[in-house]
Every structure is written in C-alpha cells, then in structure tokens.
C-alpha cells in the first residue's frame, strides 16, 4: 500500500517538475523529511539530494553547466545518507562520538581545508569535491561494511524508512518526553522535489521567523547563507548572515543582509511571511531556498519561542486583532510563565568580571554553572546535583538530553536559527551561540579561550541577553515579572476569563513575595518541615529527636520557636489579607538524620554523643513504609509538644502582626489524618495554644483548623 502511494505521488511530482527520478539526462532529485504533527526541530531525520548517482551526475552537470554544485550536492548526500540510513537506521552505535560516520567524513573535509588553507566549505574546488566523494565512498565501506547505494530508488526508500524509524530514535524519544508529545501520534514522511541553494553566488538558503523568537518583537527575523543548503544554517556549520538590516547586532553589523544583497527577493519573502502569519494567526518558522535568483518556499510551521517572547506575541497579536484575548491567554503555557522567574546577571558584578568571550544572544537571562563538554556528562553531572553549562562546538539533535539537563548552553559555531538556539529558546534556557573564540579540546577536556584555559568542572557565567561569557560565578539577580508590561496585561485578561482561584505553594517569605507578584490569591500549602533544614535549625531538630525526655524535647523546641515565628511573620506579611494554609510537621523523624555511617559519626562528634547511641536511634526510627508509619498527625499524637510549638509560633506571629494593622488569615492543617479521633486530638492541642496566645496578646485572630483528605481510610 505504501509503495503504491509513493509511486503515485512521485509520478505526479515528476509530471509537475518535468523531470524523472533516475533520468540520466535531466534527473529529479528529492528531499525526504519528516512530517510530525507537532514541531520537533532537528529531532527527526532528513535526507537531501536523493537521486544522485554515478549515472545521473553527468546529465545534471550537462544540464546545469555547474560541476562544482553537482559534486557538492553529491558529497552532502553521502554525508547525510550514510549517517541517517546506513548507520542510525541500521542500529549501528559508534563506540565514541568521534567514531560516527558523520564525524569521520567531516574530519576529511577539515583535513582538505587545512591542507589548502581554505576558510570555508565554499572554497572547495570541483577537483577537491571529486576527490572527497571518492574518499567518502572508501570511508563508508570501511566503516559500515557496505557500499554507498548507487540506485535512485534504493536511496529514496532508504530515506523513507529511516525517517519513519527516526520517530523511535533516542533523541526523538527524549524530546517527546520533555515536550510531552504522545508517542502514538507517529510521523508522516514528506518527499519534496529538491531546489538548490548551493549552485552559486545568486543562490542561497535561509531560516526565518515572522517575529523575533527570543524577544517576541514584531519584527521579521532570520538568517541566510549564500551558496549553501539548509543544513548549513541549522547545523551551525557556518555562521550565517542576518536576513535584514533590522536584525543586525554589534557582532553581525559587518555582514551583508539578504535585504541588501538581494532586495527584490527579500521584498518577495517579506510579503510571503506577512501572509503566512496572517493565515495561520501565529508566529511562523519558515525555511526558504533561492536557486539561481528564484525564491522557493520549503516549509512553514508554528515557531518555537521562549516564555518572554510567547507572552509578548500573544498580547500584541490580540491587540492587532489576529487573535482574541481568550486565545492569547491559552497560547501561553504554564512553563513559559515560569520562565519569567529566570535570573539575570548583576550589572555591578558584570563590570568587575573577567570577560572570556562573546557570541550571539540566542536565549536571554543569566546562568552560572560548571563546564561540561558532552551531553552525556551534562546529564550525569546534573543527576548528581551539579549545576552545569554544556559547552559544544555546535549541538546536534543527539545532544538533546544533555541540553535539557544543563542550566545553559554555549556553542562555538552556529547562528540565531541554529539547532542550539532553536531548542534552547523552546525550553527557555539561557544560550549563547557562534562564540568563535572557543577552541574546544574534547580529548583533554578543556577549552582554550584566547589563551586562557578553562577546564571541565570550572565555573563560568553566561549573560544570554548580551551574548557575553564570564569567568567564575557572578551574582545573579532574581527576576521581577511586575516589570514586564505584556505579562501584566495578559494576567488582567486571565483574571477576567478564569473561574478558578489560584493559590501557591510557598515555604518562605521570599517565595511568598514572588508568588504574590505573580497574582497568587493565598498560600495553598506551606510545608513547615522545609523550614527546619537551615544549619542553626537542624541541630535543634536533631537534639529534639535524640532526647528521651519531655523536658529535653521542649528545650530543643524552644530554640526552634523564634525561627518558626519569624518565618510565619514574613509569610503573613507578604500575603497581607490573603489566606495561608500551614501544614504542621509531616515527615517521619528519621528524615532529619544523616543516612550514612560516616555522616552519623560526624554528627555524633558534633553533638557530643556516642555513635552507637545515634545509630541505634536512627535505626529505631527507620520504617519500611513511612507513609503508613510514624509520621504526620501520628507524630503529633506521640509528641504533642511539636505541634504545640508550631501552633504557638503561628499564633504569636499572627497576633503581633494584627496589632500592627496587618490582616492575617491563618489556616492550620493537621497532616495525614486517617481517623476523626486523630484530628480531634490534634485540633485540641492547636486550639488550646491558640486561645492561650490570644489571651496573652490581648488580640483576637480569625483562624481555622482543618485537614487534607489524602488517605483512603479518611474518606
């Protein structure tokens, strides 16, 4: 059935183009691409120039009169096909990054360029390319134990099969998991007639966005390369030129824009992008090719954008009547709102810092982290709790898992529409690309930056808004969403449309302040155990746990009381007039003790107790299933003095603030209740303390005591 569909569709394309696949005098060449229903930039495979063989090459040379273009297209086909079809789709896993067929062929090109003193791939002559094609065939056979296919139909079907298979490739699976794209959707395969941007100086290729995907500004934004094919732009092989004068930066102002180099074609492209955005009512990501002075549109799709850009686009499109306000609100995802919390580099610290390098600002915000040079290392280090910045020559779709794990991404090559830039923006990550000062040595695990050596594990700081890289850790400033006028306007629309009220989870005054700025209408859950882990507090908690007497526990709890009271006062103040639900201590006590013998020995020494005593206590507290054991309200039943101390801290803070005319609404939650008797016993403890505090302070505070139904037995 599939073969029949392909044959029918191919015959239609051949008729339209007036060419046939495999024809020796005027061959049709095709690209094989994915057609997933949700944009997955760079995650699915592509094969370009399928149909070029030793039989069709002479006819294409005669037809075009351009042998250099033909052999350039042939070497590109061999590079992509051997990588996508003969290696990945065949299930061949290279031992290391350097053992992959693509890397071997790229190194062969670099070797020729170095020998001849060339700066760019476009400097390669037709003789260079012919020799490279012969060399490529030998390397492919030696590495993959198969001849490169010389039959157009075999190339076509190899490409189709590989694109279908790439839906279940490692990088596509990782990306779908991150983006929550259902696996059962699958992908289509698109086979398109090729047009060529690498036939000479009047040909080009480019990627553009109808609005700036990094800032959201309503400005046509993109990049292009003369005498190139599409992969050169997105793969970061060459640093591309801005598509128009408005898109030039301090680092690209010397480069010719398409608007300047080919004004008529730019005007035509500008008209198309306006029409496409109007038709689809969303920002479009466009790929185009210019072949011998003629513009061809290859594809359009909804463009990826970061959170800041998504909010601005939604608001401005609604004001421009492209969409309504309800659509604008729904178009911004929750995780994109979360991105507004990303920090920025402190300008004062930046002035004193050592600047290592500069590049293109592909993903705004500030980030600090330890340098890692591979995606696998980024994921492994992040899993151990390290904050890392992934530094690469250029990223490829195989790096997606490491890019997601990293705090930020820095590449030596690539432009604003390269793979790294596209993916980083989609995830709201800080990213700098095209940082040409970086000389990365994977073998020695270090980076040479203008003579300064940065080793794996060293700290660096990125300013993704300016495209600057600094040595060491610089101070980062918290974001303030209230300064974002588009965010504020979008939230007023959301308030008008919504029917639910929204509270936040917050355990500190700072978190409460930020949540209030974001429009939270109270705190739905304040986890008091999170307040116990500060260095001064945890010691008192551990003393309380180790004490075998009520007097000893009360003494330790008395030291905790001022800390708890100060925290609650700060939270109530931040939430002035809004309800705050405070959950009393919930986790089992062993969670506050170290888990290893070495840490227990160190703690025993600090506390002046025997290791055997501490070890015995730790083991006595440990439970096979803590959810069913000694935790939550059952802890309060055994040690009511814990809940009494917390109730006192809450009510003293509330009473003192009420005297200062601050409106407080405490809601005290008894955790993990499974029976009404447990609740009644703990409520009595809380109410008794609350009444005592109010009498002492001579002030009345409206408060409630309740629980959250979270166990089947409680229903």
| Exposure letters 303-342 (e unless 16+ CB within 10 A, then b) | bbbbbbbbbbbbbbbbeeebbebeebbebbeeebbebbeb
pLDDT of residue 70: 94
**Position with higher pLDDT, 378 vs 623:** 378
| Whether residues 155 and 118 fall in one domain | yes
Closest CA to 199 of 262, 265, 122, 94: 122
Q: Are 252 and 233 in contact (CB under 8 A)?
A: no
**512 Cβ contact partners less than 8 Å away, ≥ 6 residues apart:** 504, 506, 523, 570, 571, 574, 575
Each residue's pLDDT tens digit, 593-630: 776 777 778 777 877 888 888 788 878 877 766 666 78
Q: Indicate the helix (H) or strand (E) that contains 449.
A: strand 446-449
Cα(285)–Cα(289) distance, integer angstroms: 14
| Whether residues 534 and 672 fall in one domain | yes
Residue 715 has pLDDT above 80, yes or no: no
- CATH code (residue 322): 1.10.189
From 146, 162, 192, give the residue that closes a domain.
Answer: 192
Q: Indicate the helix (H) or strand (E) that contains 669.
A: strand 665-670
Residue 523 has pLDDT above 70, yes or no: yes
- As a whole-number percent, the residues of the chain with pLDDT over 90 amount to 64
Q: Indicate the helix (H) or strand (E) that contains 644.
A: helix 640-659
| Whether residues 464 and 509 fall in one domain | no
- CATH code (residue 356): 3.50.30.10
Mean pLDDT of 631-652: 94
- As a whole-number percent, the residues of the chain with pLDDT over 70 amount to 98
Q: Calculate helix-pair angle for 550-574, 535-546, nearest 10 degrees.
A: 150
Each residue's pLDDT tens digit, 82-114: 999 999 999 888 887 778 999 999 999 999 999
Mean pLDDT of 430-445: 91
Whether 148 maps to a domain, the answer reads: yes
Q: Enter the DSSP assignment of 149.
A: P
Cα(310)–Cα(302) distance, integer angstroms: 12
Residue 481 pLDDT level (bands cut at 50, 70, 90): confident
| Whether residues 378 and 334 fall in one domain | no
The mean predicted confidence, pLDDT, of the chain is: 90
Cα(428)–Cα(305) distance, integer angstroms: 8
Whether 233 maps to a domain, the answer reads: yes
pLDDT of residue 477: 84
From 418, 443, 477, give the residue that closes a domain.
Answer: 477
**Position with higher pLDDT, 182 vs 712:** 182
Mean pLDDT of 36-62: 90
pLDDT of residue 128: 96
Residue 513 has pLDDT above 70, yes or no: yes
Bridge partner residues of 370 (DSSP): 388, 459
Each residue's pLDDT tens digit, 306-364: 888 999 999 999 999 999 999 999 999 987 887 777 788 888 888 889 999 999 888 88
| Whether residues 178 and 98 fall in one domain | yes
Residue 235 has pLDDT above 70, yes or no: no
| Whether residues 468 and 507 fall in one domain | no
| Exposure letters 185-209 (e unless 16+ CB within 10 A, then b) | eebebebebbbbbbbbeebbbbbbb
- Tell me the residue range of the domain where 279 lies: 204-305
CA torsion, ordered 310, 313, 315, 321, to nearest 10 deg: -140
Tally of domains within the chain: 5
Mean pLDDT of 54-65: 94
Cα(46)–Cα(233) distance, integer angstroms: 14
- CATH code (residue 93): 1.20.80.30
| Whether residues 364 and 412 fall in one domain | yes
Mean pLDDT of 419-423: 79
Bridge partner residues of 355 (DSSP): 470
pLDDT of residue 237: 64
Residue 32 has pLDDT above 90, yes or no: yes
**115 Cβ contact partners less than 8 Å away, ≥ 6 residues apart:** none
| Whether residues 402 and 415 fall in one domain | yes
Mean pLDDT of 26-32: 95
Q: Indicate the helix (H) or strand (E) that contains 496.
A: helix 485-497
Whether 181 maps to a domain, the answer reads: yes
Choose the weakest-confidence range: 149-163, 358-372, 538-552.
538-552
| Whether residues 485 and 504 fall in one domain | no
Whether 56 maps to a domain, the answer reads: yes
Mean pLDDT of 261-273: 97
Phi, psi (rounded to 5 degrees) for 68: -60, -45
Each residue's pLDDT tens digit, 159-195: 999 999 999 988 888 888 888 899 999 999 999 999 9
Using left for φ > 0, alpha for ψ between -120 and 50, and beta otherwise, residue 451 falls in left
Mean pLDDT of 480-501: 89
From 497, 532, 561, give the residue that closes a domain.
Answer: 497
Whether 603 maps to a domain, the answer reads: no
| Whether residues 452 and 546 fall in one domain | no
pLDDT of residue 397: 74
pTM > 0.75? no
Mean pLDDT of 133-150: 96
Cα(184)–Cα(674) distance, integer angstroms: 40
- Residue 471 Cα to chain centre, angstroms: 23
pLDDT of residue 80: 94
pLDDT of residue 517: 83
Mean pLDDT of 199-210: 92
Q: Calculate helix-pair angle for 101-116, 67-81, nearest 10 degrees.
A: 150
Whether 18 maps to a domain, the answer reads: yes
Closest CA to 456 of 475, 473, 443, 469: 443
Whether 618 maps to a domain, the answer reads: no
Whether 583 maps to a domain, the answer reads: yes
| Whether residues 630 and 527 fall in one domain | yes
| Whether residues 239 and 327 fall in one domain | no
pLDDT of residue 628: 67
Closest CA to 572 of 631, 632, 634, 658: 658
pLDDT of residue 640: 95
Q: In the chain, count of helices (H) and strands (E)?
A: 26, 26
- Strand, coil or helix: 462: strand
């Amino acid at each position: 059935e599939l073969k029949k569909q392909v044959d029918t569709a191919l015959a239609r394309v051949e008729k339209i183009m007036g060419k046939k696949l495999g024809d020796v005098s005027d061959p049709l060449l095709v690209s094989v691409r994915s057609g997933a229903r949700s944009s997955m930039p760079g995650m699915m495979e592509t094969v370009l120039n399928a149909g070029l063989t030793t039989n069709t090459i002479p006819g294409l040379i005669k037809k075009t009169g351009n042998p250099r273009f033909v052999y350039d297209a042939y070497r590109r086909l061999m590079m992509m096909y051997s990588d996508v079809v003969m290696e990945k789709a065949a299930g061949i896993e290279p031992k290391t990054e350097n053992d992959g067929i693509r890397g071997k062929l790229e190194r062969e090109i670099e070797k020729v360029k170095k020998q001849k003193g060339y700066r760019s791939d476009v400097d390669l002559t037709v003789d260079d390319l012919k020799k490279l094609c012969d060399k490529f065939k030998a390397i492919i056979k030696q590495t993959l134990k198969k001849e490169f296919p010389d039959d157009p139909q075999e190339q076509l079907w190899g490409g189709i099969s590989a694109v279908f298979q790439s839906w279940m490739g490692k990088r596509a699976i990782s990306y779908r998991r991150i983006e929550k794209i259902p696996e059962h959707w699958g992908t289509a395969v698109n086979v398109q007639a090729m047009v060529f941007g690498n036939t000479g100086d009047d040909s080009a290729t480019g990627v553009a966005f109808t609005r700036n995907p990094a800032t959201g500004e309503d400005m046509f934004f993109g990049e292009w390369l003369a005498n190139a094919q599409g992969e050169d732009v997105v793969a970061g092989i060459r640093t591309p030129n801005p598509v128009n004068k408005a898109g030039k930066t301090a680092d690209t102002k010397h480069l010719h824009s398409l608007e300047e180099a080919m004004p008529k074609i730019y005007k035509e492209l500008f008209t198309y992008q306006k029409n496409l955005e109007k038709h689809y009512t969303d920002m479009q990501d466009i790929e185009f090719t210019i072949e011998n002075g003629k513009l061809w549109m290859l594809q359009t799709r909804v463009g990826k954008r970061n959170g800041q850009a998504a909010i601005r686009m939604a608001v401005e499109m609604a004001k421009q009547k492209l969409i309504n306000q309800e659509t604008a609100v729904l178009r911004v995802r929750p995780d994109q709102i979360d991105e507004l919390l990303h920090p920025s580099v402190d300008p004062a610290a930046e002035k004193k810092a050592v600047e290592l390098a500069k590049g293109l600002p592909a993903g705004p915000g500030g980030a600090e982290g330890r340098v890692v040079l591979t995606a696998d290392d980024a994921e492994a280090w992040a899993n151990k709790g390290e904050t890392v910045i992934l530094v690469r020559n250029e990223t490829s779709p195989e790096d997606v898992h490491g890019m997601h794990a990293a705090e930020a991404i820095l590449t030596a090559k690539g432009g604003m529409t390269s793979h790294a830039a596209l993916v980083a923006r989609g995830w709201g990550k800080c990213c700098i690309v095209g940082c040409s000062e970086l000389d990365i040595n994977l073998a020695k695990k270090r980076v040479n930056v203008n003579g300064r050596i940065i080793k794996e594990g060293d700290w660096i700081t990125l300013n993704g808004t300016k495209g600057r890289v600094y040595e060491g850790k610089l101070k980062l400033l918290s974001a303030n969403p209230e300064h974002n006028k588009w965010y504020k306007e979008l939230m007023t629309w959301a308030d008008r449309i919504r029917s639910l009220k929204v509270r936040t989870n917050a355990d500190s005054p700072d978190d409460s302040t930020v949540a209030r700025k974001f429009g939270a209408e109270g705190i739905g859950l304040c986890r008091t155990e999170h307040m116990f882990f500060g260095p001064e507090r945890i010691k008192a908690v551990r003393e309380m746990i180790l004490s075998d007497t009520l007097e000893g526990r009360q003494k330790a709890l008395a030291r905790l009381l001022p800390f708890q009271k100060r925290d609650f006062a700060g939270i109530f103040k931040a939430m002035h007039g809004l309800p705050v639900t405070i959950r009393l201590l919930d986790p089992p006590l062993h969670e506050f003790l170290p888990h290893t013998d070495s840490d227990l020995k160190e703690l025993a020494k600090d506390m002046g107790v025997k290791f055997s005593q501490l070890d015995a206590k730790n083991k006595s507290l440990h439970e096979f299933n803590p959810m069913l054991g000694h935790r939550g309200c059952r802890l309060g039943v055994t040690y009511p003095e814990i809940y009494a101390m917390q109730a006192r801290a809450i009510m003293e803070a509330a009473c003192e603030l009420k005297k200062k005319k601050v409106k407080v609404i405490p809601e005290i939650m008894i955790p993990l209740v499974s029976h009404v008797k447990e609740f009644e016993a703990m409520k009595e403890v809380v109410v008794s303390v609350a009444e005592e505090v109010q009498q002492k302070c001579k002030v009345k505070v409206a408060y409630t005591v309740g629980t959250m139904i979270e166990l089947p037995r409680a229903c």
